[in-house]
A = this chain, B = another copy of it.
Amino acid sequence: MAPLLKDELDIVIPTIRNLDFLEMWRPFFQPYHLIIVQDGDPTRTVMVPEGFDYELYNRNDINRILGPKASCISFKDSACRCFGYMVSKKKYVYTIDDDCFVAKDPTGKDIDALAKHIQNLLCPSTPLFFNTLYDPYQEGADFVRGYPFSLREGVPTAVSHGLWLNIPDYDAPTQLVKPRERNGRYVDAVMTIPKGSLFPMCGMNLAFDRELIGPAMYFGLMGDGQPIGRYDDMWAGWCVKVICDHLGLGVKTGLPYIWHSKASNPFVNLKKEYKGIFWQEDIIPFFQAAKLTKECDTVQKCYISLSQQVKEKLGKIDPYFVKLADAMVTWIEAWDMLNSKDSKEADVANGKLKGK
């Protein structure tokens, strides 16, 4: 059983509506502190079910806390959630979308997604060599014959990427082509994504170690005033994976599943995505070729170096990437501002909307 990291984990939820979905999660989430990032109209009231311990930030709060640096936080896009990563003071973060419900395992039992994420984060990853029996640290599994003994200690796990039953995380073209496709396949596995391999990180059901990788979990500039949406988590995933590979950290994917209830509108999605569909053909080779030097020995330094490479290499594709590269720097400045030693005390007096 995974330990209850009550004082070491925050749950970050971006939303524009009342959080009724929390009722179903109550047995699993209630011991934890929630950070709710309210998107859109800040005058609207978001209702949180009774009994949850939470703080809530709307756009006015973000602007007040970050000042001019608030420009790096997206508006009218769930990318705004990364503000929650920044204000958390905990070691771990779990983030989930408000249309995700508790899934059932093949025996019909409710899946405690958070407990599984904690288990994933607390045991090592194996990015340097592939283990054919999946996560070797899992009960009943191990390293197979031929797995080098020197690599069996593994590396610290920075990210646990969970999956989705029912509505799969498809792009707009696939949604349009396969409107009825549902994911019913419960794959009972967790695995490390090998070093050097990029993956499409989805922010729907995602946990990470803030201390190890937090400053790279920037969800970019999306939504209002930007030429693109729905690439927030992808952008973060590419940056995170390159930095994890460089710093010797692990990224796991697989279990736990959540139940994704409702497909978003594919026509709206296509509008948000279509530039990304072109751009990713250049972005991915860019990240595959990105180089970080030995001097980049912290996440922040890695991230700043990536931002420079983004400006230089991707800036040629579209001026958007110059703006994004600048926002990446602003994000790190804001992160360090809120996460310096001094900031912790200042933060207490910061006038947050504090829940019960």
Contact = CB atoms under 8 A, between A and B. Distances in A.
A350 interface: no
Contacts of A149: 173, 277, 281
A141 B197 contact: no
A188 interface: yes
B194 A145 contact: no
Contacts of A195: 196-197
Interface string A162-173: 010000111101
Given A129-B199, A133-B163, A149-B281, A174 B142 contact: yes
Q: How many copies does the complex hold?
A: 2
Max count, chain B CB within 10 A of own CB: residue among A146, A150, A202: A146
A60 interface: no
Contacts of A161: 132
A337 interface: no
Interface residues of A, number: 57
Contacts of A273: 145
Contact of A130 (B198, B202, B277): B198
Nearest to A163: B132
A237 interface: yes
B132 A144 contact: no
A331 interface: no
A173 to B, nearest CB: 8
A269 B330 CA distance: 58
26 contacts: A106-B106, A129-B284, A130-B197, A130-B198, A130-B199, A130-B253, A131-B199, A131-B200, A132-B169, A140-B184, A141-B185, A142-B170, A144-B171, A144-B202, A145-B230, A145-B234, A146-B171, A146-B233, A148-B280, A148-B284, A149-B173, A186-B188, A189-B189, A194-B197, A195-B196, A196-B197
A140 B281 contact: no
B183 A140 contact: yes
A79 to B, nearest CB: 14
Nearest to A193: B130
Contacts of A109: none
B132 A253 contact: yes
Nearest to A146: B200
Interface string A57-89: 000000000000000000000000000000000
Contacts of A277: 149
Contacts of A231: 146
